[in-house]
């Protein structure tokens, strides 16, 4: 059953009030010392432009849960290229311009090349899918993404038999992504999936949310969404997709291998070394709730890991 409850914060840009702009300005002013590094102190930004996406159809997957409000999805998140605080991405991605944008598809494909984002998107119908996203830090949210299956894109470039894994890379540009001037991670941010995970129908390349183009802080113009894995697998602002023979490196595994493995499936039974993963706090809720195996997508994805030791392959 599909139940859709739109939250009152689902407003068109024309409805954004002076109060919103004021609050946004307050956020900016509160930026403090970090702002010296990240720039833009004293700027008076208008509310971010919000552009509706045309021709979006209802997708197959609709989590039957209340959508997390737009303002929460876009103001409390992780995007270390714009700082490590939860409210850094909205603040410091304000002037990021994701256009023009191109994406390189290479490795074990018959048709490698670098394509404009327009050429990448052209053949794909956009659909809305409501997915749960759970961060390894134990907060979660429900997001109406707009996108298309990654599998449809990969098939266009004709993977060869050497394509066992898919590696993803975020833009590397410290001038435009000032968090890359800090050594908190190795840059660029990289992630990877097995080919079966990448071809799974749940795996989405997203270009927007709430029916509108992707906000900068959520990974404009193109990001991955893998709803049964911890949020960090869902890499943002992608510039390269490589089909490869060997398991590719991933940013969090490079930085802290004991805490973050290649698979990173949401699993309430396998704890993070420093905290339990059995519960989570839905953004906007006060009480914690139990975390579900594979984030509630076990029926769809458990077969990908049949016979695998999920304690070893964390």
Ligand X SMILES: Nc1nc2c(c(=O)[nH]1)N[C@H]1C(S)=C(S)[C@@H](COP(=O)(O)O)O[C@H]1N2
- What is the binding site for Mo ion (CB under 5 A)? 78, 135, 231-232
Residue 147: partners with Cβ closer than 8 Å, 6 or more residues away:
126, 127, 129, 204, 205, 206, 207, 208, 225
| Under 8 Å between Cβ of 119 and 214 | no
Exactly one of 68, 78, 140, 277 binds ligand X (CB under 6 A); that residue is 78
CB of 49 to Mo ion, least distance (A): 26
d(CA 61, CA 292): 17
Closer CB to ligand X, residue 200 or residue 229? Answer: 229
- The answer to whether 144 contacts ligand X (rule: CB under 6 A) is no
Residue 264 contact among Mo ion, ligand X, none, beta carbon within 5 to 8 Å by kind: none
Exactly one of 93, 218, 253, 264 binds ligand X (CB under 6 A); that residue is 218
d(CA 12, CA 297): 32
DSSP category for residue 192: E
The string over 231-258, giving b where at least 16 C-beta atoms fall within 10 Å of a residue's C-beta and e elsewhere, is: bbbbbbbbbbbbbbeeebebbbbeeeee
Stretch (H or E) spanning 34: helix 34-38
Of 5-13, 77-85, 111-119, 272-280: span binding ligand X (CB under 6 A): 77-85
- The answer to whether 277 contacts ligand X (rule: CB under 6 A) is no
Residue 216: exposure state from Cβ atoms within 10 A (0-12, 13-18, ≥19): buried
Question: Nearest residue by C-beta to ligand X?
Answer: 231
Exactly one of 59, 144, 231, 248 binds ligand X (CB under 6 A); that residue is 231
Of 53-61, 118-126, 226-234, 293-301: span binding ligand X (CB under 6 A): 226-234
Q: Pick out residues in 181-200 that bind ligand X (CB under 6 A).
A: 189
| Under 8 Å between Cβ of 101 and 56 | no
Q: Pick out residues in 79-98 that bind ligand X (CB under 6 A).
A: 79-81
CB of 198 to ligand X, least distance (A): 16
DSSP category for residue 142: E
Q: Pick out residues in 25-64 that bind ligand X (CB under 6 A).
A: none
Residue 74 contact among Mo ion, ligand X, none, beta carbon within 5 to 8 Å by kind: none
Residue 131 contact among ligand X, Mo ion, none, beta carbon within 5 to 8 Å by kind: none
| Under 8 Å between Cβ of 34 and 46 | no
CB of 160 to ligand X, least distance (A): 27
- The answer to whether 170 contacts ligand X (rule: CB under 6 A) is yes
Total residues contacting ligand X (rule CB under 6 A)?
A: 16
Of 170, 192, 173, 196, the C-alpha closest to 254 is 192
Of 78, 102, 106, 91, the C-alpha closest to 219 is 78
Q: Which residues of the shown chain bind ligand X in the complex (CB under 6 A)?
A: 77-81, 133, 135, 170, 189, 218, 231-232, 234-237
């Amino acid at each position: 059953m599909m139940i859709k409850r739109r939250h009152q914060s689902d407003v068109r840009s024309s409805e954004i009030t002076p109060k919103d702009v004021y609050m946004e300005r307050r956020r900016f002013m509160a930026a403090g010392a970090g702002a010296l590094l990240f720039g833009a102190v004293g700027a008076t930004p208008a509310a971010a432009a919000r552009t509706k996406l045309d021709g979006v159809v209802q997708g197959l997957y609709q989590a039957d849960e209340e959508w997390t409000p737009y303002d929460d999805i876009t103001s409390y998140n992780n995007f270390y290229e714009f700082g490590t605080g939860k409210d850094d991405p909205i603040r410091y991605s304000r002037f990021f311009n994701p256009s023009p944008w191109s994406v390189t598809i290479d490795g074990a494909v018959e048709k490698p090349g670098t394509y404009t984002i327009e050429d990448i998107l052209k053949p794909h119908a956009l659909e809305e899918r409501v997915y749960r996203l759970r961060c390894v830090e134990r907060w979660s949210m429900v997001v109406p993404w707009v996108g298309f299956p990654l599998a449809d894109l990969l098939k266009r470039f004709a993977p060869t038999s050497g394509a066992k894994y898919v590696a993803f890379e975020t833009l590397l540009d410290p001038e435009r992504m000032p968090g890359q001037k800090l050594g908190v991670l190795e840059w660029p941010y990289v992630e990877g999936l097995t080919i079966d995970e990448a071809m799974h129908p749940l795996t989405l390349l997203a270009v927007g949310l709430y029916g509108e183009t992707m906000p900068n802080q959520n990974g404009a113009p193109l990001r991955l969404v893998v709803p049964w894995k911890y949020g960090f697998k869902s890499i943002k602002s992608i510039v390269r997709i490589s089909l490869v023979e060997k398991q590719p490196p991933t940013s969090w595994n490079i930085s802290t291998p004991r805490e973050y493995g290649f698979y990173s499936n949401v699993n309430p039974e396998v704890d993070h070394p420093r905290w339990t993963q059995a519960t989570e706090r839905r953004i906007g809720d006060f009480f914690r709730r139990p975390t579900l195996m594979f984030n509630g997508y076990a029926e769809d994805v458990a077969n990908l890991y049949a016979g695998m030791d999920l304690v070893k392959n964390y």
